[in-house]
Structure 1
């Protein structure tokens, strides 16, 4: 942006002020996890002004637009009407362990989903995405209640997964038209630990699953989280919130989806054998903790035996395997769509400009690693080359003798 001329791309700041979208300000503020009070202090407006802007009662002036953009680290044009926008309320998302997350964290997460939707809609206008492939009973119009075990078995059958381990689970989910994203919601340089593990929503044109490495970068944990969220998507017909019973149902769905009773029961030991469980963990792509829970659920061991095993397991924690080491468990749909556009001369910077999003945000949402800064050594032509000092008389005599 050219501050002197007051221009931002094709729109001047005054033009942006006239077509100001209040919901964009709320979205940007929630992503920045900034209170209205903190934002108004940074921008230098009255205590009531930010609320008035967000409610659409007052439009900010051009210079205020610029200050808001600087404070929230977005282009000024981000606040202009005219681009598709979704609105996802916290009540329209299923959060794992909702009670352990703050309202600000939940609002930040749903604001991110709104931007994921905007990016996916932009890309889908130019790239053909996989069709959404869910069973008829998985849509809100269906009133047919279904238990978690049956739902898991029916979805495995619908997707043709057989009875063995689900290899490359996230790739499988994306191939059936569900959008999955994986990115950190922690602010750069912040030591605060994010409490968001994974969540999903069916409030948009495609279901969206968001996973983060913030709580634990553990591929087995992420696989269970992804299966858990698919459980919400297919079972709960758009119902979301903090219902503990729905969370238990999603866990039961994930267990049956990843380790079907008929296939895993004959393989599980009838007494705790950690070597055997570790081997099964690697083969089926689930944690030893999950297998212990499965043994208790299938009544292969008693509650007290399982409890002692959990204690032993917690005293000898394993080293988690990073999700970055498993390409099939990393989302690719949005990233590959961007790569296809770049191959057709639509660069990432152009996509970011069309969406009026910072380039780093588009990279974040699509799971594209930021390029490392390139070091270039420049020859300084103003520095005179080094010259040898004149030889001393003894040095000249020594050279002559040697010659």
Structure 2
């Protein structure tokens, strides 16, 4: 019988090390252990002794209980990472692991709360070569129709996605080459999106979000292997960008407003549609409003103005923020369903990670004198009155969350 900590899960150590962006050697230095030991713990050949596990947990800044939890089976659906060729495998693993943490947070919250049900149209295809441009335009309009968005500008893309049951996370990852990641989890049949904030502007963030939405809608049936074929990945990315353009700039309404396919004309439209001038040029080319020569001429002038680094109005628009996870946690804590300490214990993460993943203010989990034994009585709640989570006045959909025990 092997000695060591019973119940230790090697997969959790691999995930945690990836989430911190550490090699086995780097973790060994932080924990005062040998990299060969860490390798054996991750392979399952050996179990760490209690003292060693505490040292590793301290090095990774995670509670020991994290390494004893059974990993959730999220399924084999691919994680669509932007800029696969330019992004290191370690960076993709880091962001993927943090998205897994967000999925685990969501699953924990769903034990107590009814989050907005997933309501995302998808194409029933397993080969990206079957997807035509007409299909992309059609399903983008289907999303707008299903979510009651009409044909005008979308005031808040992240709010729309969260109301459709998509969990969105935004974090800084210290990489200039990776913009986002998306995945369908088998554990709850729910789509998830991770957006990097490193190069964030409002228009870029909205385009990144719509791009990841495109992957969720168009490419749910694809396999992970497809993404490692360079030619296939290039086409898959083009399709996601095409979806983003069709979703944010509907052909009928946007083309009617392009009175002048020029840089000043697009600049005048930017504040209304909250889409970059570069993206509007590409959309006009896709719609046939300008030809290839016109597109090249516009981008030449665009580059000459230095707009590839920063466009006009970029600083005037506040980037959108996700709400769903953060407001769900606030609801549970404010209504005394759980205390802040109990919530962190249940998530098996420390406060700084939960605050970052859920867009909560730093220090949210500090002790604020919460009385741990107070609970709302069932008969003291009007179960017919939902508690609003998202800002329903901004869009037509009015999804809410409510504690399951109140129903």
Once the two structures are superposed, the pairs formed by residues 369-384 of structure 1 within 5 Å of their partners are 369-371=361-363
State how far apart, in whole Å, the 2-side matches of 1:220 and 1:233 are: 20
Offset of residue 269 of structure 1: 3.5
- Correspondence for 2:302 among 308, 313, 318: 313
- Correspondence for 1:325 among 318, 335, 338: 318
Q: Secondary structure at the match of 1:99?
A: coil
Match of 1:265 in 2: 255
The answer to whether the aligner puts 1:24 opposite 2:12 as a matched pair is yes
- Correspondence for 2:282 among 265, 275, 293: 293
Offset of residue 343 of structure 1: 1.1
- The structure-2 alpha-carbon separation of the partners of 1:342 and 1:76, relative to structure 1 and needing over 3 Å to count, comes to same
State how far apart, in whole Å, the 1-side matches of 2:111 and 2:245 are: 36
Offset of residue 115 of structure 1: 0.4
State how far apart, in whole Å, the 2-side matches of 1:286 and 1:324 are: 11
State how far apart, in whole Å, the 1-side matches of 2:121 and 2:291 are: 36
Match of 1:73 in 2: 61
- Correspondence for 1:342 among 313, 333, 349: 333
Match of 1:208 in 2: 192
Offset of residue 333 of structure 1: 0.4
Offset of residue 319 of structure 1: 5.2
Q: Is the 8 A contact 1:349 1:359 kept in 2?
A: no
Q: Secondary structure at the match of 2:239?
A: helix
The answer to whether the aligner puts 1:174 opposite 2:162 as a matched pair is yes
- 234-243 or 106-115, which deviates more: 234-243
Match of 2:78 in 1: 92
Match of 2:239 in 1: 249
TM-score, length basis structure 2: 0.78
- The structure-2 alpha-carbon separation of the partners of 1:70 and 1:153, relative to structure 1 and needing over 3 Å to count, comes to same
- Correspondence for 2:118 among 123, 132, 136: 132
Offset of residue 138 of structure 1: 5.7
- Correspondence for 1:223 among 169, 191, 206: 206
State how far apart, in whole Å, the 1-side matches of 2:173 and 2:57 are: 20
State how far apart, in whole Å, the 1-side matches of 2:269 and 2:124 are: 30
- The structure-2 alpha-carbon separation of the partners of 1:280 and 1:341, relative to structure 1 and needing over 3 Å to count, comes to same
Q: Is the 8 A contact 1:323 1:330 kept in 2?
A: no
Q: Is the 8 A contact 1:218 1:320 kept in 2?
A: no
- The structure-2 alpha-carbon separation of the partners of 1:138 and 1:184, relative to structure 1 and needing over 3 Å to count, comes to farther
TM-score, length basis structure 1: 0.79
State how far apart, in whole Å, the 2-side matches of 1:255 and 1:227 are: 8
Q: Is the 8 A contact 1:179 1:208 kept in 2?
A: yes
CA RMSD of aligned residues (A): 2.8
Structure 1: gaps of 5 or more residues: 1-14, 187-192, 375-403
The superposition leaves residues 42-77 of structure 1 with CA deviations (integer Å, 9 ceiling, x where unpaired) of: 334344221211121110001101110121111122
Match of 1:195 in 2: 177
Q: Is the 8 A contact 2:18 2:97 kept in 1?
A: yes
State how far apart, in whole Å, the 1-side matches of 2:41 and 2:60 are: 15
Q: Secondary structure at the match of 1:202?
A: strand
Aligned residues: 348
Q: Is the 8 A contact 2:19 2:97 kept in 1?
A: yes
State how far apart, in whole Å, the 2-side matches of 1:64 and 1:221 are: 44
State how far apart, in whole Å, the 1-side matches of 2:185 and 2:351 are: 26
Q: Secondary structure at the match of 2:25?
A: helix
Q: Is the 8 A contact 1:31 1:112 kept in 2?
A: yes
